[in-house]
Structure 1
Amino acid sequence: MAIVSKSVPVPPLVPVKRALLSVFDKTGLIDFAKALSDRGVELVSTGGSYKALRDAGLAVMDISEVTGFPEIMDGRVKTLHPAVHGGLLSIRDDADHQAAMSAHGITGIDLFCGNLYPFEDVVAKGADYATGVENIDIGGPAMTRAAAKNHAYVTVVTDPADYELVIAELDKHNGQSPIELRKKLALKAFARTAAYDAAVSNWLADQLDEANPAHRAVGGKLAEVMRYGENPHQSAGFYTTGEVRPGVATARQIQGKTLSYNNINDTDAAFELVSEFDPARTSAVAIIKHANPCGVAEGKSLKEAYELALRCDPVSAFGGIVALNQKLDAAAAEEIVKIFTEVIIAPEADEAAMEIIAAKKNLRLLLTGGLADPRAKGLFVKSVAGGLLVQNRDNGVVDDLDLKVVTKRAPTAQELADLKFAFRVAKHVKSNAIVYAKDGATVGVGAGQMSRVDSARIAARKALDATEAAGLTEALTKGCVVASDAFFPFADGLLSAAEAGATAVIQPGGSMRDDEVIAAADEAGLAMVLTGMRHFRH
């Protein structure tokens, strides 16, 4: 089919004489419709919107009076009609379009106000397949796109937050809509339908267990325009996807400055890590700096866990993010505020703790209402030049793995507990990752190095620094365990860990030189277990 180009001037101002209002979310609808009616705009509406306007005493025409056709199929078909779409799509300054409107009795629609069935909310609450499908809006997106396409003549309003702006612009221009407003609202409309369709397609892909559909759409809603991105010369915005997952995107901010781009990234990393620890089993705290843990620990209380986590790297913890897996209490809060901290994130906080935090006005406190499920499915998206890398969230959990002892010596019960702890943490450390741990606390972390042996050496060096800072005479790594996020390609990294004082190691295995690495572990008297699962994190 040939695409016909209509080169007609775009009018700077368009009178708004007729408006079609068809919304699911009726927030502010009555006031907006009354304001339009008071300005001489004829109102047309559909279904529940029509009833709400009529019950409010407004003069309003039902859509069936426009189409000459009743709603059918339980309301599935009511606006998909030439009288509606001709009124939205007609080029007012085109003689042929005007002739067609006259011949078929079509009246122009100058303003369309619509929002969509709450598909995202419905499926986020766990709706079954049939309910999800029934909540896919068809007429709403069709009218929204038609009005947005024809923004040269039509004002499209998709967000109740814009109602006041539209009325103000009409008043400013004597009942006419300016082109700048129409363009801005058209952009917003297309972005909304794009995000809506993305939610539908991704849900269907998940329902059908289709890991890699032919087209992958990603959509989000602007939650905040940020001061800047990772660096001051980069612009940035924070968008939410509607995923109901406890964390930084869904948390309630109790106090403190607005979160920065880096704050959000680091806080997400912190909370995802601490969510690995079952709050019914243990208190756990993670301290994050630049998306890497500088200290993680379990304890009999949050205060004890925080003190152990801080001991691992007290220098890097300055200006870091603190995440807790249980309700923040006063004892833990008193310890945390002793050094400069950017953000605290926890499921809950008691009143005494919030009073302590309140004394630090710039300290952000976020409450999530729960922990993120480390086993839950989800998508992870990363942009590259000209494309997107899309993968499932890393939802592997060490407790679910079949650990295989491959050395002559098996780990003791305490070593095994520490190995599992260390591997939980290593999952959240940038590759190449090495984590030394002892008695449920990290004692050295090596992250993001180009070789695994360098990560092992850096982690050992930081452990010595922490030992000195704690005023201890014996290295924190003596008698510790070590976790590696991926296999040891050579025995050198393993031997570096042994030199640091490690007595047991956990790693995925899978190297061509596994036999050499296992032999080196046996010679050094180490116990080694293989997980069969790696946790690269880039």
Structure 2
Amino acid sequence: MSDRPIARALLSVSDKTGLLEFAQALHARGVALVSTGGTARALSEAGLPVEDVSTLTGFPEMMDGRVKTLHPKVHGGLLAIRDDAGHQRSMQEHGIAAIDLLVVNLYPFEATLARAAPFDEMIENIDVGGPAMIRGAAKNHADVTVVVEPSDYDPVLAAMEANAGATTAELRRRLAAKAFSRTAAYDAAIGTWLSREVGEDAPAFRALGGSLAQTLRYGENPHQSAAFYRTAEARPGVATAVQAQGKELSYNNINDTDAAYELVGEFDPRRTAACVIVKHANPCGAAEAPSLAEAYERALACDPVSAFGGIVAFNRKLDAAAAREIVKIFTEVIVAPDADDEAKAIIAGKKNLRLLLAGGLPDPRAPGLSIRTVAGGFLAQTRDSSVVDDLDLKVATKRAPTEQELSDLRFAFRVAKHVKSNAIVYARDGATVGIGAGQMSRVDSARIAAHKAREAAEAAGLSRSGTEGSVVASDAFFPFADGLDAAIEAGATAVIQPGGSMRDAEVIARADEAGLAMVFTGVRHFRH
């Protein structure tokens, strides 16, 4: 491929950012402009000579704009191979003029989806002609330059300036790759939405698409490259957040912040303030309290060693009292729905501390997808949207839990949902006191959680472990009584677990023997 001069351009955009300046620069270089609908009007009103596509095709726009560019004089001008004699004869025979530059950005389907528009409006924001033109131009990038977003206006103009009005083969190929990726992401958003609308959990084809939000310095480790992409899902969190201050987010920051914010979203801010501290994608402390500052202090007390360099998430607007406590130790990220000015000023004293304002909380009950890659494919499942407050808890033991125990059991199970399996969570008075995560054996998780609780108590100068008089949550059933024995040894008085083991009777009998209350949820929360 060689340089290709641009003599004629077709512009049809929904996002008119930078359009007039770009079109004026093209016109100044003698490029003929062809356009459609609102784009043509905008150019004409700016005093630029522009040929309406309906004049080009000989057909008016029709069917409310659904049909305007689906015509051989458009697609022939994009797809014709300039060095092919047969293509040139066809162009001359049918009066088709070459289109050297295509500038199209698509109907705003993703933005329409983000604001949960009605079904009919969603349908009308599915672009048909735009993707067809983009794909045609991208296929013929040996001859045609295709631009799908305003950020590429300047590179095209720079190439034309450096090459006497032409673009290079390398630039056209790069733009073509972006163009195909753009239409793929667009169609992925449409397909995912429509599959959900018709209740299709496992469609025959599943496409994933996103737009680049950030190129990251590296991935989980420095030898891995990485990038962060946003999808069309409008779920509040790290992807929607405004970074108010701090260093650039890393791959691990983003992953851990997502884990923290998803857990804190389980706590209704109308009921209580809540704080979650996460390290390496697992909570190392969680608590609810009348104020954010108290919730933070109680969450920190669970495992202050692990909290160093962690992620702190809140379910309410960050205030000054909480901010003052956080800046006392090294923290990587704070994420909250919002922050007041005094809190922002306090955080500003730690210039590297990242403050993310997500604008809302994720709904733990909302449907959605979870994706994980495997060799040669990927796994897709619905988000774990089970909430303990919605479950019908069954008392399995002779003793029923007290009201306080029942409240703590719900709290502990809410946290256990977000702890890597096998998960054990000890809690007391609305705060975690010990967390065991990611162990191959459930009894090991129970013992590790109890051990960390003893360490935290000793460091705080307390005479007894926080697990004494606590409740314990397990993300899955106890396959043997040994895990329960570890909880009994730690001083737990009540247990919440899914139930369903072949040895449930054995486990229940052991709880009765020890005087524990135990409730079954009937719902498992494996998290791998």
Quickly name the TM-score band, shorter chain normalised: over 0.9
> Aligned equivalents of 1:421 and 1:155: distance in 2?
57
Q: CA deviation at 1:119?
A: 0.6
- The alpha-carbon deviation at position 243 of structure 1 amounts to 1.3
After TM superposition, the structure 1 = structure 2 runs for residues 507-526 of structure 1, keeping only pairs within 5 Å, are: 507-526=497-516
The 2-side partners of 1:328 and 1:301 are apart by: 10
CA distance in 2, matches of 1:410, 1:227: 53
Q: Partner of 1:407 in structure 2?
A: 397
| Secondary structure of the corresponding residue to residue 315 of structure 1 | helix
| TM-score of the aligned structures, taking structure 1 as reference length | 0.98
Matched, 1:378 2:387: no
Question: Paired residues, what number?
Answer: 528
- Distance in structure 1 (CA, Å) of the matches to 2:523 and 2:218: 37
Unmatched tracts of structure 2, length 5 or more: none
Q: Output the amino acid matched with 2:516.
A: L
Percent identical among aligned pairs is 71
- 1:304 is matched with 294
Q: Which amino acid aligns with 2:315?
A: N
CA distance in 1, matches of 2:6, 2:115: 39
User: Structure 1 CA distance, aligned partners of 2:464 and 2:5?
Assistant: 82
Residue matched to 2:7:
17
Q: CA deviation at 1:330?
A: 1.1
8 Å contact from structure 2 (residues 454, 464) kept in 1: no
Alignment-mate amino acid for residue 229 of structure 1: G
Task: Find out whether 1:235 has 2:225 as its counterpart.
Answer: yes
Q: Taking structure 2 as the reference length, what is the TM-score of the superposition? A: 0.99
Q: Cα distance, 1:452 vs. partner?
A: 0.3
| Structure 2 counterpart of 1:250 | 240
- 2:451 matches 1:473: no
Structure 1 window deviating more from structure 2 (422-431 vs 66-75): it is: 66-75
Aligned equivalent of 2:285: 295
Task: State the shift of 1:242 in Å.
Answer: 2.3
> Given residue 173 of structure 2, which amino acid in structure 1 is its aligned partner?
K
Q: Does residue 280 of structure 2 align to residue 265 of structure 1?
A: no
Q: Give, in whole Å, the separation in 2 of the partners of 1:80 and 1:108.
A: 16
The one-letter code of the counterpart of 2:69 is T
- Partner of residue 39, structure 1: 29
Contact 2:240 2:359 in 1 (8 A): no
SS at match of 1:316: helix
Give the 3-state SS of the residue equivalent to 1:225 in structure 2: strand
Q: What is the CA–CA distance in structure 1 between the aligned matches of 2:306 and 2:65, rounded to whole Å?
A: 60
Which residue number corresponds to residue 143 of structure 2?
153
What is the distance in 2 between the residues matched to 1:124 and 1:311?
39
Q: Which of residues 524, 527, 534 in structure 1 aligns to 2:517?
A: 527
Give the Cα–Cα distance (whole angstroms) in 2 for the partners of residues 348 and 70 of structure 1.
50
Q: Does 1:137 align with 2:127?
A: yes
Pair 1:502-2:492 in alignment: yes
Q: Deviations over 1:479-499 (max 9, x none)?
A: 000000001111110111011
Per-residue deviation at 1:512?
1.0
After superposition, the C-alpha distances for 1:136-189 in whole angstroms (9 at most, x for unaligned) are 000000000000010000000011011111111101000011111101110111
Cα deviation, 1:439-466, whole Å, max 9, x if unaligned, reads 0000000000001000000000001001
Distance in structure 2 (CA, Å) of the matches to 1:318 and 1:266: 14
CA distance in structure 2 between the partners assigned to 1:471 and 1:260 by the alignment: 36
8 Å CA contact retained: 2:412, 2:473: yes
The alpha-carbon deviation at position 74 of structure 1 amounts to 1.4
Match of 2:208, SS state, is coil
Cross-structure match for 1:188: 178
> Match of 1:38, as an amino acid?
A
> In the TM superposition, what are the counterparts of 1:158-173 in structure 2 within 5 Å?
158-173=148-163
Contact 2:113–2:232 (Cα < 8 Å) also in 1: no
Q: Take 2:248 and 2:102, find their aligned partners in 1: how far apart are those partners?
A: 35
Residue 484 of structure 1: aligned partner: 474
Q: Which moved more, 1:395-404 or 1:118-127?
A: 118-127
Aligned counterpart, 1:3: none
Question: Which whole-Å deviations, capped at 9, do the CAs of 1:391-413 have from their partners, x for residues lacking one?
Answer: 11111100000000010000000
| Structure 1 letter corresponding to 2:231 | T
SS at match of 2:257: helix
Give the alignment of 1:60-71 within 5 angstroms: 60-71=50-61
User: Is 1:435 equivalent to 2:441 in the alignment?
Assistant: no
Specify the SS of the correspondent of 1:43: strand
1:68 Cα deviation from its structure 2 partner? 1.3
Deviations 1:220-262 (A, max 9, x none): 0000100000000000000000211111110010100000000
Q: How far apart are 1:280 and its partner, in Å?
A: 1.1
Residue matched to 1:113: 103
Aligned counterpart for 1:425 among listed residues 403, 411, 415: 415
Tell me, in whole angstroms, the C-alpha distance in 2 between the residues paired with 1:336 and 1:176: 56
Q: What CA deviation, in whole Å up to 9, does each residue of 1:178-209 have, x standing for no partner?
A: 11110111011111000000000000001001
Alpha-carbon RMSD: 0.7
SS of the aligned residue for 1:450 comes to coil
- 1:48 maps onto 2:38 in alignment: yes
Structure 1 moving runs of 4+ over 4 Å: none
Does residue 362 in structure 1 map to residue 352 in structure 2? yes
Name 2:75's counterpart in structure 1: 85
Asked if residue 321 in structure 1 is aligned to residue 311 in structure 2, the reply is yes
Structure 2 match to 1:4: none
Q: What is the alpha-carbon distance in structure 1 between the residues aligned to residue 58 and residue 362 of structure 2?
A: 52
